[in-house]
Amino acid sequence: MSFATDAEDSRFDRLAQIGLVHESYWQQNVWRWGGTYAHARANPTGNGAGLRDLNSVSFGTSVTLDDSLDIGLSASYDGKSGTSRIVSDNRASPAWGATVSLNYNTGPWTIGGYYQNARASASGNQAGNDRLSAFELGASYRFTTRLRLYSAWFLYDLTNDRRGSDPIAGSGSVFTLGLRATL
């Protein structure tokens, strides 16, 4: 459980979250599942053009097989949280997201990746629906418990359909290479 009176985003305050995780063990395997609910109150505005409160629910599960293969799946749903209260024809899509991941550990190596897909309404002059598709592959090599070499390649595609206009689209990729040393 957590609570904070203020948020970095001045449009919201009184952030609260509660979550629960359950683990089951058998031989060299672990199954985890859990969920969380989060809420933030939208601050009122003088002109009545405020936003809806933020409400989010998330669920996920993962299984670790033989201490080496990790498989995960999660989903979140935010409904129309954070959208305008006064839009008469608020055709905003409900916000949701889903992620699937797969990692394999063998000796000093860890190799894995994930895919994420999400959709949410966007506000402002170019209102529409934002869609995100993201994919990452990565690997690391552990020399010792204090020294690890890692790399990852991240690919994303972000689109806003801007009702009545041409869509805004952005895509790209990022490559990371690093060395982590623990003192």
Closest CA to 16 of 27, 26, 5, 30: 5
Answer yes or no: is 85 within a domain: yes
Q: How many domains does the chain have?
A: 1
Contact 10, 43 (CB under 8 A): yes
Residue 172 in this model has a pLDDT that exceeds 60: yes
Answer yes or no: is 79 within a domain: yes
d(CA 17, CA 95): 18
DSSP state of 85: S
pLDDT of residue 49: 65
Answer yes or no: is 45 within a domain: no
Do strands 109-122 and 128-144 pair parallel, antiparallel, or not at all (unpaired)?
A: antiparallel
pLDDT of residue 131: 87
Answer yes or no: is 51 within a domain: no
Residue 154 in this model has a pLDDT that exceeds 80: yes
Q: How far is CA 154 from the centre of its chain?
A: 14
Residue 81 in this model has a pLDDT that exceeds 90: no
- Structural domain boundaries, residue 166: 24-34+59-181
Contact 53, 78 (CB under 8 A): no
Answer yes or no: is 16 within a domain: no
Answer yes or no: is 98 within a domain: yes
Answer yes or no: is 50 within a domain: no
Q: How many other CB atoms are there within 10 angstroms of residue 54's CB atom? A: 20
Answer yes or no: is 156 within a domain: yes
